Amino acid sequence: MDDTQIASLLKSSDLFPLPQSLKLSYGTAGFRGDASLLDSTVYRVGILSALRSLKLGSSTVGLMITASHNKVSDNGVKVADPSGGMLSQEWEPFADQIANASSSEELVWLIKEFVEREKISIGGVGEVLLGRDTRPSGYSLLRAAEIGVSSVLGCVAVDKDLLTTPLLHWMVRAKNKGLNASKYDYFENLTTSLMCLIDLIPVSEFKITKLVLDGANGVGGQVMNEFSFCTLDVEIRNTGFQGGVLNEGVGADFVQKEKVVPLGFGSKDDVGVRCASFDGDADRLVYFYVPSESSGGKIELLDGDKILSLFALFVKEQLNTFDDDGKEGELSRLGVVQTAYANGASTDYLKGLGLDVVFAKTGVKHLHEKAAEFDVGIYFEANGHGTILFSESFVSLLVGKQKDLSEGSDEYNAVSRLVAVSNLINQAVGDAISGLLLVEVILQHMGWSVQKWNELYKDLPSRQVKVEVPDRTAVVTTSEETEALKPLGIQDAINGEIKKYKRGRAFIRPSGTEDVVRVYAEASTQEDADSLGDSVAQLVKSFLGSS
C-alpha cells in the first residue's frame, strides 16, 4: 500500500471514530446493532467490500444496509460475494478485526497487513453495489459505506438505493455473469419464468384466488407494489406507506414466533383466506390463515418447514417423471437442508418422502453451503429463510434433455418446469418474493388450497423464548446447535427437563443478530412445549444471570 492510499484511508477514517466500548462480531448475518453506533462499522465494511472486489479480479461485490427482522432503531451491514452468496467466511475474522479497531492508525495497519497477506493489488478497478432497506438510519449509513468504498483507490460505489436484500444479491450475481442486472431485469426474469410455469399447469381451469400479503411495513411490500402481476391476485397490506412501524406487530418474524395475526389482519373477511408475511428486508417468507372467526387472533402457520416440504414434493414429482425407473438415480441427487429449529414433524415427513435430510447450523450461509452439494438442494430455516439451489451442471443437463424430448410430453413438461423453477427462484440467497411466486404456482399446479397444503403433516407444538443475559457468548454449542457445551452443566440440566415430556426436545443458542440467548422447545402438547420452554429459559437465567 503506498502513501497516497494510506493518507486516503487515514483521512476518511477520522470522519468515523469508533464509539467507545462498541464490540462487534460479524455474526449470523453481518454486523447488527443500534443504528446510532454503526457509522464507523459501515464505513469499514465499505473498505472491506472494495478490497474483496479487488481481490476477486474487479468482480462486483454487494453491500446491504439492513437489520432485517430486528427493531427499527437497529441497523446492520452485510456483504454479498461476487457469486451473489454471503461473504466468504474466511474473511469474517478480518471483518471483526477492522470493525473493532480502536483508532485510524490501528485500522490502517490492519488493512495494510491484510492487503499484503492476501496479495491484493491496490490501484486496480473495484465496484461495490450498495443497497438499503427502509430504516430511516439507512440513508446516512449508505453515505458512510460510499466513503469507505471510495477511500480504496480505484474503487467505486454504485448507489442502488432502496432494495430488498435478495434483490441486491441477485443483482450482484447477474452482473458478474454478464447479464442485465437492474431491478426491472429482476422483475422481467420473475415474470417470464412464472408465466412459463403457469402455462405448464396441468389443470384445465386455472383458478386465481386472492392472496393477502403482510409487507412488515418494510421494503418487501414496497417492491412487490412496483411489480405488477397480471396473473395473480395479491392484496398488499402493511407497506409502510400509511404509517406503521417496521417489524412492530407485523412481518414474518412476528407471525412465526407469536403465531398470531399481524396488525391489519384478522377481520371476519380474512377467515380462511391465504395470507403471507415478509420480514423487514424480504428475505423471509411464511404463510398463514385465520382458521375461524372465534380463533381470537390465533393463526394456522405454514412456516419455512412447510414451504420446504411443498417445494420438495413438487421437485421430486418432476424428477420422478423423467428419472429412469421413477427413482432419483445418477441423474439427480435431491437433498434438503434444515436446522435444529425445524419442527420434528417436518423432518419425519421429509424423510418419509425418501429424501436425504441434512442439518446445518443456523444462518443461511451454513445451509446454502450444504445445499450446494446436491444437484438440487432445497434449504429452509423454520423462520422462512430459504431457496432451491440447482447445480450448473444439472441445469445444463436439463436444458440438453429438453431438446431431446418431444414437446408436450410429460417428460418434456417436467423438465421444462424444473428449468423454469431454476430461473424463478433466487439462486443467490433466500428471497421472499420469488419464494412466494413459486408457492403460488405450485398450489395452482396441485389444485390445493392453503388448508390442504397445511395438511401435509401436523406440526409438533413448539415454543421459542428470548432470554436477555449479561453475556450471551457464554453459551457455546455443538456444531449443529442441538447441545450446549458451555456453561458447564447446563446441558445436563436441560436434558433433565426434556425427559419430563413426551416427544420433548429443547436447545439453547446465542443469537447472532440480537443480544439474547434463544430457547427452542418442542413437545407433544402446546402446554408441555410452553412449560419446557419456560423451564429451559429459567435454567438459562440461573446459569447466566439476567440482565
Q: Among all residues, which ones are annotated catalytic? A: 68
Q: Which three cell numbers stand for residue 68?
A: 432485517
Residue 435 as a binder of ligand G16 (CB under 6 A): the answer is no
**Residues 6+ away with beta carbon under 8 Å from 538:** none
Q: What distances in angstroms separate CA 451 from CA 8, 57, 275, one per listed residue? A: 60, 50, 11
d(CA 506, CA 508): 7
Please give the Cα distance from 43 to 14 (Å, whole number). Answer: 11
Bridge pairing between strands 274-278 and 285-289: antiparallel
Instruction: DSSP letter for 546, please.
Output: -
Which is nearest to 251 in space by CA: 278, 286, 219? 278
Residue 394 and residue 323 in contact, taking contact as beta carbons nearer than 8 Å: no
Q: Which is nearer to ligand G16, 86 or 275 (CB)?
A: 86
Among 35, 42, 364, 450, binds ligand G16 (CB under 6 A): 364
Known binding residue 413? Answer is no
What gap in Å lies between CA 23 and CA 51, rounded to an integer? 23
CB of 55 to ligand G16, least distance (A): 24
Stretch that binds ligand G16, among 36-44, 180-188, 358-366, 494-502 (CB under 6 A): 358-366
**Binding flags for ligand G16, 35-74, as an x/- string (CB under 6 A):** ---------------------------------xx-----
Among 12, 346, 362, 427, binds ligand G16 (CB under 6 A): 362
- Has 435 been labeled as part of a binding site? no
The H-or-E segment that residue 408 falls in is none
Of the candidates 49, 164, 513, 535, which one interacts with ligand G16 according to CB under 6 A? 513
Is 478 among the annotated ligand-binding positions? no
Q: How far is the CB of 508 from ligand G16 (least distance, A)?
A: 11
CB atoms within 10 A of CB 521: 28
List the x/- string, 262-281, binding to ligand G16 by CB under 6 A.
Answer: -----------------x--
Q: Which is nearer to ligand G16, 69 or 401 (CB)?
A: 69
Positions of E strands within 163-263: 210-214, 233-237
What character string, x for contact with ligand G16 (CB under 6 A) and - otherwise, covers 380-409? -x-x-x------------------------
383 is in an annotated binding site: yes
As measured in angstroms, the least distance from the Cβ of 326 to ligand G16 is 35
Residue 123 assigned ligand-binding role:
no
State the Rg of the chain over Cα. Answer: 23
Among 200-208, 285-293, 326-334, 513-521, which window interacts with ligand G16 (CB under 6 A)? 513-521
Q: How far is the CB of 432 from ligand G16 (least distance, A)?
A: 10
Q: Which of 39, 214, 283, 375 binds ligand G16 (CB under 6 A)?
A: 283
- Name which of 381, 369, 358, 387 is nearest 513 in CA terms: 381
518 binds ligand G16 (CB under 6 A): yes
Among 6-14, 152-160, 254-262, 512-520, which window interacts with ligand G16 (CB under 6 A)? 512-520
29 binds ligand G16 (CB under 6 A): yes
Residue range at the interface with ligand G16 (CB under 6 A); choices 5-13, 295-303, 377-385, 536-544? 377-385
Structure letter (DSSP) for residue 547: -
Q: How far is CA 186 from CA 172, 195, 330, in A?
A: 11, 14, 33
Joined together, the cell numbers standing for residue 374 give 446436491
Beta strands at 274-278 and 210-214: parallel, antiparallel or unpaired: parallel
Considering beta carbons, is residue 29 or 63 the nearer one to ligand G16? 29
∠ Cα 274 355 86 (to 5°): 70
Contact 67, 44 (CB under 8 A): no
- What is d(CA 494, CA 474) in angstroms, rounded to the nearest whole number? 16
Report the residue number, 415 or 519, with the smaller CB distance to ligand G16: 519
Residue closer to ligand G16, measured from CB, 387 or 513: 513
Question: CB under 6 A: which stretch of 14-22, 292-300, 359-367, 395-403 binds ligand G16?
Answer: 359-367
Residue 207, CA atoms < 13 Å, CB-side half-sphere: 8
Nearer to ligand G16, 381 or 440 (CB): 381
Q: Name the site residues for ligand G16 (rule: CB under 6 A).
A: 28-29, 68-69, 279, 283-284, 362-364, 381, 383, 385, 511-514, 518
Binding residue positions: 68, 279, 281, 283, 381-383, 509-513, 518
